Structures are given as C-alpha cells and as structure tokens.
Amino acid sequence: MKKVLMPLAMVATLALVAYVGVEFLKLQFIFGVVIPYTAAVLFVAGFLFRIADWLIRPVPFRIPTTAGQEKSLDWIRRNPIESPHRAWEAAARVLSEVLLFRSLFRNIRAELRKDASLAYASNKWLWLGGLAFHWSLLVIVLRHARFFFAMVPGFADFLDHADSFFDVTLPAFYISDAIALGAITFLVARRFFDAKVRMISLPTDYFPLFLIGGIVLIGVLMRYVVRLNVMPVKDLMLQLMNFGFDPPGEIGTLFYVHLFLISVLLAYFPLSKLMHMGGIFLSPTRNLCNNSREKRHVNPWNSDIKFRTYSEYEDDFREKMKKAGLPVEKQ
Amino acid sequence: MRINKTILTIGLPALLMFALLAFFRQSGNAVEAPKAPPAPVAVDSTKCIAQTEYMRANHMKVLYEWRNSSVREGNRVFIAQNGSRFQKSLKTCLGCHATNRLFCFNCHMYANVRPKCWNCHLSPMETP
C-alpha cells in the first residue's frame, strides 16, 4: 500500500508546489522559464551521458536467443527477423521491438489452477495496453509541436486533423487523449489486481505512471474544461525555443502545474526506468546478429598469449633431436 | 472466476462507452419545455459586450455559451455586465470586427487554433 501511496502523494505534492508557487507566491518566472530550462538541460545532458555510458561498454559476444532458427546449413529454414545474420535483419528486429513491441506479443501468463495444476496461456493485454499507451503519448507529444514552432510543421498539422477526426465537442475532442487516459488506467490497474505484478511493482513503477497520468489529466482539463487562453502559452513556448528570458504573460495557473510536472518528468527521465526509451536501441539481444556459428567472435580485451609452435621448438632443438635419433620435419 | 472476467471485459468498455456518450451529449437532454424567449433585441454593434482584455482571453467561452444557450435553449438575448442587452449572434461581433478581415485569423493562425466556426458561418475573409 505504501509503495502506491508514496508516489501518488509525491505527484500530488509536486502539483501543489507549482500551484502554490504560481497562484500565491507569483513565481511565474521561476516556473515558466527557469525550471523548464533547467529540466531541459538535465534531460539532454543526462540522456546523452546515459547513452554514451552504455555505448562505451564493450559487448564482445552475441547472445543467441531461441526465438528463431539461426542461419545454419542451407536446407534448414531460418528465421531472418528473430535470428538475424545481417545488419539490416538485426535493424528490423530492433524496429519491430521499438514500434510494435514484438517481445511483449509473446507474453505468456502462468496461472495456478484450483486443482493445483499450472496453466500457461497467451496474454496479449499488456502488449495492447502498452502499445496504446506509447503510441498515444507519441502522438500527443508530436501534436504539441504546434506550440513550439511559429510555422507548424506539416506532420503536426496532419496529426492534429487525424486526431480530432470525430469533430465532436468544442474544442474538437482528441482521440489520443482518451486512449492515453484509458491505457494509463489499465496499466495502473494491472499492477493493482494481478497479485504477481503487484508483488514486483515498486514505487519507481508507480511514480512515472502517476506523473504522466497527472500531466495528461491536467492537459485534458486545460483544453476541454477550463479552456485556457493559448496565446500567451504560444508566446512563452516560442520564447523558450529561442532561448529568451522574458517573463511569461498572463497564463492560467493550471498551465504552470502542467509545465512543472513535465519539467519534473524530464529531469527524472535519465535517472529512471524511463531510459528504456534510449536503452531499447542498445539492447544486445535485439541489435546484434545471431551469427556465432558463422563467425568467430574473439573477446578483444583478452591478453595476448605467446604461443610456441612446434616448428619453433624444432628449430631450437633440431641438432639435439638428430643426435638422439628422433625424427625431425625439417632437415 | 471465468464468468466474472467475461463480464469485466465486456462490461468495462461498455461502461466507458456510456460515460463517453454522456460526456458528448453534455447537458442537452435535460431541457424542459422551452419558456417564452425574451423579446429579441436588435443587433447592436456600436460597443463591445465586455472589456477588451476579458474578451481576448475568454471570447471562446462566451461564444461557446452563446451557441449552447441560443441554439439549444432558444435564449438569444445576452445581458452584459453593465445591463445593456445584445443579440447572441456572430453578427453582433462581426458587425464591428469584420472591418478588419484578419481580425480572427491573425491570432488564430499564430496559435494554430482552428474552431469550426466557418464550416457554417460566413467568415470575414469570404464576405466582399
């Protein structure tokens, strides 16, 4: 219980900090300019540090996975995506993981039946929930490009139109908002109701979920309920993009709460499990070819061994060997 | 256990759909028999219905309220803070603001906010 309530209380406190700071202490400049810049610097520097740190770790050996047949004899049918032996096949494996969550698709749920027998069954809910969550978040983030650029890029415009396709409510309802909220609810509920997952869930699992949930919820509130004035918001965002330091205009407090929670998310990102965003590309079971049979991989930091071959031995002892009547290869 | 799960998997989405439906329908269903609407007022565009600062930040809320109350409840008269009465109509606004054809579009293009006003109404850009 504590490991759920603690992160929930933390997110609530963070939201309250921003609310009190802006509503009562009038710290618009701190929450609108200073903290976002700091968070962005921490995010970029931390992210790069983490990735560089992982990149310089040597990975000398291939980790064979048993998901597909490795390239072997010609008449054995192989599986190019699951067990790649060329770079582009490995790239396809990484991309299928990143874009479609291939390995979650194989998720299997083990269940102890009433008669004490263990049953396994395919369980695609996590895959579907995760896919819905990540894709809707991506769409939401890309859609926000309309606040960051004076000339809105074409893809953001397209996403905006596609996302508000139903054209109901005013302003037009975004499908991705509903999907994101639904998926977050499912992912949290899954950690509550499945005893095994509840057991292994930590505060660091709940915190990002609550944080992102809070951000989305406040975004939804700003758009559909409070109907915030976006002109000063766009001014502020364009200013931040141009590294300006002017104080922000008259914006509703809810926006600062939204921005502060995002800043916290950015700063927290490199310190947390959220780094799987970059790490997935570096995962050795996905991005290395399974070609251990085809190619010999030598550990590059093995110390050099001085071998003494038989011909060198014979060169040293040839005369003595001849005297002793031993056969020699070279006369 | 098995049946419960089936109920859950069907029931939860259904519940969600109903909640969404309620959200979309908003409060449009609980309307009593329409009262006799107040006497209409002539379109008066000589003065603005509120302070400029207020209108800049909140015109969307005003228009949203106008749309709902005038179209759905038939209440077409808006009483301003100072007691003067206005016809709840885009004509009230555009009677004055349409003199600048880019009055809406300057900001709306900048903020990239595109409400669907001009799907039905004639925009100042389209009038000669």
Give φ, ψ of A29 to 5 degrees: -65, -40
Contact A172/B at CB under 8 A: yes
Residue-level pLDDT at B37: 58
Residue-level pLDDT at A196: 86
Give contacts of B57 with chain A, Cβ < 8 Å. 229, 250
The distance of B56 to chain A (nearest Cα, Å) reads 8
Residue-level pLDDT at A171: 87
Distance CA A326, CA A14 (A): 87
**One pLDDT digit (tens) per residue for chain A, 331 residues:** 789 999 999 999 999 999 999 999 999 999 999 999 999 999 999 999 999 999 998 888 888 888 889 888 999 999 988 899 899 999 999 999 999 999 899 888 888 888 888 888 888 999 999 999 999 999 999 999 999 999 999 999 999 999 999 988 888 999 999 999 999 999 999 999 988 899 999 999 999 999 999 999 999 999 999 999 999 999 999 999 999 999 998 899 999 999 999 999 999 999 999 999 999 999 999 999 998 888 888 888 888 888 899 999 999 999 999 999 999 888 7
For residue range B74-114, list pLDDT tens digits in order: 888 888 888 888 889 888 888 888 888 899 999 999 998 88
Give contacts of B56 with chain A, Cβ < 8 Å. 229, 231
Give the amino acid at A7: P
Give the amino acid at A196: K
Adjacent-strand bridge partners of A109: A121
pLDDT band at residue B24, thresholds of 50, 70 and 90?
A: low
Six-digit token string for B112:
């990239």
Q: How far apart, in Å, do the first and last CA atoms of chain B sit?
A: 69
Residue-level pLDDT at A123: 86
Residue-level pLDDT at A301: 83
Average pLDDT, integer, range B46-64: 90
User: In chain B, which residue's Cα lies nearest the Cα of A227?
Assistant: B61
Distance CA A7, CA A306 (A): 58
Asked if A170's CB is within 8 angstroms of B64's CB, the reply is: yes
Distance CA B30, CA A179 (A): 29
What is the 3-class SS of chain B, one letter each residue?
A: CHHHHHHHHHHHHHHHHHHHHHHHHCCCCCCCCCCCCCCCCCCCCCCCCCCHHHHHHHHHHHHHHHHHHHHHCCCCEEECCCCCEEECCHHHHHHHHCCCCCCCHHHHHHHCCCCCHHHCCCCCCCCC
**Average of per-residue pLDDT values in chain B:** 81
Residue in B24, B58, B107 nearest the CB of A168? B24
Residue of A10, A15, A3 whose CA lies nearest to A261: A15
Sign of CA dihedral A212, A214, A215, A221: positive
Residue-level pLDDT at A94: 95
For residue range A294-309, list pLDDT tens digits in order: 888 888 888 888 889 9
Adjacent-strand bridge partners of A119: A111
> For the purposes of burial, counting CB atoms within 10 Å of the CB of A295, is it exposed (0-12), middle (13-18) or buried (19 or more)?
exposed
CB contact at 8 A, A184 and A133: yes
Adjacent-strand bridge partners of A122: A108
Residue-level pLDDT at A129: 95
For residue range A104-131, list pLDDT tens digits in order: 998 888 888 888 888 888 889 999 999 9
Q: Angle, nearest 10°, between helix axes A253-268 and A2-23?
A: 130
Residue in B16, B61, B111 nearest the CB of A227? B61
- In A250-279, the residues whose Cβ lies within 8 Å of chain B are 250
Residue in B57, B110, B116 nearest the CB of A229? B57
Instruction: Find the length of chain B.
Output: 128
Residue-level pLDDT at B36: 59
Look at residue B26 and tell me whether its pLDDT is greater than 60. Answer: no
pLDDT band at residue B35, thresholds of 50, 70 and 90?
A: low
Distance CA A118, CA A111 (A): 6
Residue-level pLDDT at A255: 96
Angle at Cα B38 formed by Cα B37 and Cα B43, nearest 5°?
Answer: 110
Asked if A167's CB is within 8 angstroms of B107's CB, the reply is: no
> What is the rounded radius of gyration, in angstroms, for the C-alpha atoms of chain A?
29
If you ran DSSP here, which 8-state letter would residue A173 be given? P
The distance of B115 to chain A (nearest Cα, Å) reads 6
Residue-level pLDDT at B33: 58
CB contact at 8 A, A28 and A22: yes
Q: Set out the domains of chain A in order of their start, with CATH numbers.
A: 2-323 (1.20.950.20)
- Number of continuous H segments (helices) and E segments (strands) in chain A: 16, 2
Distance CA B60, CA A308 (A): 87
Residue-level pLDDT at B15: 85
